[in-house]
Amino acid sequence: MKEIDALKLPDHLRYTRDHEWALGKGDIYTIGISDYAQDQLGDVVFVELPEIGVLMEKGQEFGTVESVKAVSELFMPISGEVMEINGALEDSPELVNEDPYEGGWMIKVKAADPDQIEGLMDRQAYLATLKG
């Protein structure tokens, strides 16, 4: 496992206490799990994601990540409609471990209320949460 200082936690993302991240471009938000989350899970072997077109509420479970150690639920950081899923994860779930922010993103959502992103943590607040 990585030391907290060795984790990649980009400044331009917003984070949840459940270790998801979100990045907005207009009203479309890309969502995935943080470097910390993938590191804690270990080798990811399966990712279950929602159907395109599904409306989801902030905090609602949108899928699961299965690793050799455990199965973890994924929770929506913001409310919205699922516009796209990362189909590459079906054949290559290890992308979540290799690159959780680029190749390992999970879903893209059209935000119902883009202001919800303000309720998420910036890098410093998330780092403080990880350090306890």
The pLDDT tens digits of the residues spanning 7-33 come to 999 999 999 999 999 999 999 999 999
Q: Identify which of 118, 91, 120, 107 has the alpha carbon closest to the alpha carbon of residue 33.
A: 107
| Alpha carbon distances (Å) from 88 to 39, 41, 95, 102, 117 | 20, 19, 8, 12, 26
Q: How many helices (H) and strands (E) does the chain have?
A: 4, 9
pLDDT of residue 125: 98
pLDDT of residue 42: 96
Q: Contact at 8 Å (CB) between 39 and 2?
A: yes
In the chain, the domains with their CATH numbers are: 4-131 (2.40.50.100)
Q: Identify which of 37, 4, 2, 39 has the alpha carbon closest to the alpha carbon of residue 18.
A: 37
pLDDT of residue 44: 98
The SS3 of residue 110 is strand
pLDDT of residue 113: 95
pLDDT of residue 25: 92
Q: How do residues 67-123 score in pLDDT, each as one tens digit?
A: 998 999 999 999 999 999 999 999 999 999 999 999 999 999 999 999 999 999 999
Q: How far apart are CA 28 and CA 81, in angstroms?
A: 9
The SS3 of residue 21 is strand
Strands (E), 19-106: 20-25, 28-33, 44-48, 55-56, 61-67, 71-75, 80-85
